Amino acid sequence: MTAHRFDDRLDRLQWTPSAVPSREIVDSVLGARHNQRTRSVAATLAGAILGILIGFGLVGMSFQQSPWGPGSGTTGLIFGSLSLLGLLLSVCLAGFAAFHSSKRPRLMQFSSMNLLMIVVLLLS
């Protein structure tokens, strides 16, 4: 009984065993696959580098010997404020990227690597 159904489906599709796909179908399939490439090494690397810089700034705020640590004056205020602002913007960017990850996958890749590097440096 399934052989009849399968043969009926082939008849409805007007498929013949020697048929080859048309050039338009091949081009549309290859074009769709080309657009699916969403990973970018540049986004990962940029997120990692920025995350390392922000994490390094945050860790340096707690050490007395660092140039921007406690009691370092204006330099500490500037670098500390920039590090905290970077952390705040990274968290906001990660939230935005989580909601728009289907439209902007590279932004999600950047922000996740950014937060990962910040957390790794803060926990080390």
Residues 22 and 81 in one domain: no
Q: Which residues contact 9 (CB under 8 A, 6 or more apart)?
A: none
The domain total for the chain is: 2
Range of the domain at 81: 40-123
Place of tokens 């690397």: 45
Q: Which residues contact 82 (CB under 8 A, 6 or more apart)?
A: 57
Q: Would you state the structure tokens that stand for residue 84, as one six-digit string?
A: 């905290």
Whole-model pTM: value is 0.68
Residues 67 and 27 in one domain: no
Tell me the C-alpha distance between 76 and 2, whole Å. 77
Say yes or no to pLDDT of 3 above 80.
no
Residues 96 and 74 in one domain: yes
Residues 30 and 71 in one domain: no
- pLDDT, tens only, 30-89: 765 555 556 789 999 999 999 999 999 999 998 888 888 888 889 889 999 999 999 999
